[in-house]
Amino acid sequence: MITGFNHSGFVVKNLEKMVSFYRDDLGLKIEREVDSLASTSGDHTGIPGAHRTLVFVGKGGEHALELVYFINPKSPSGHLDRNQLGASHICFNVEKIEELYENLLSKGIKFVTPPIMSVTEDGKEKGICYCQDPEGNWIEFIQN
């Protein structure tokens, strides 16, 4: 049975740029790095001989984001459209979503819309928005 979450992953093209975004722009910490080399008969990925660098970023909690860089074989170009089967996104809980939006926008991050804000019955401000990281992976931010 499932006992909890472990991590989600994005395959990335430029590991240094992506680590910089998630660490420096979003404030996540590098939790661990792994040099992963599959045997010629394959491993759990089903790609015999795959050589990857794995960088896990997070906030020291249960769930982390794994940035997967394929050294060999190289990853093909392209992303799935948001509404295409198999497309994915990751969602972060945030404080001050409008400040985060302005900060990332000033760094060239593309958003679908500005934060959509609402107020709960108890007067608490909520917000939600989607953007793409520097390589086009979808990110959702929620302020509760």
Using CA atoms, how far apart are residues 103 and 76, in angstroms rounded to an integer?
31
Is the pLDDT confidence value at 44 over 90? no
- How confident is residue 22, by pLDDT bands cut at 50, 70 and 90? very high
* Cα 65 from Cα 28, distance rounded (Å): 9
Sheet containing strand 138-143, strands side by side: 89-93, 138-143, 125-132, 116-119
Q: Which of 59, 57, 61, 139 is nearest to 100 (CA)?
A: 139
- The fraction of the chain above a pLDDT of 70, given in percent, is 100
Give me the pLDDT at residue 87, please. Answer: 86
| Average predicted confidence (pLDDT) for the chain | 93
Sheet-wide strand order for 51-58: 7-12, 64-72, 51-58, 29-37
Can you list the domains of the chain with their CATH numbers? 1-77 (3.10.180.10), 79-144 (3.10.180.10)
How confident is the model at residue 43, as a pLDDT? 75
User: Given this model, what pLDDT does residue 85 score?
Assistant: 83
Position 18 scores a pLDDT of 98
Average pLDDT over residues 88-114: 96
Question: What spatial distance separates the first Cα and last Cα of the chain, rounded to whole Å?
Answer: 30
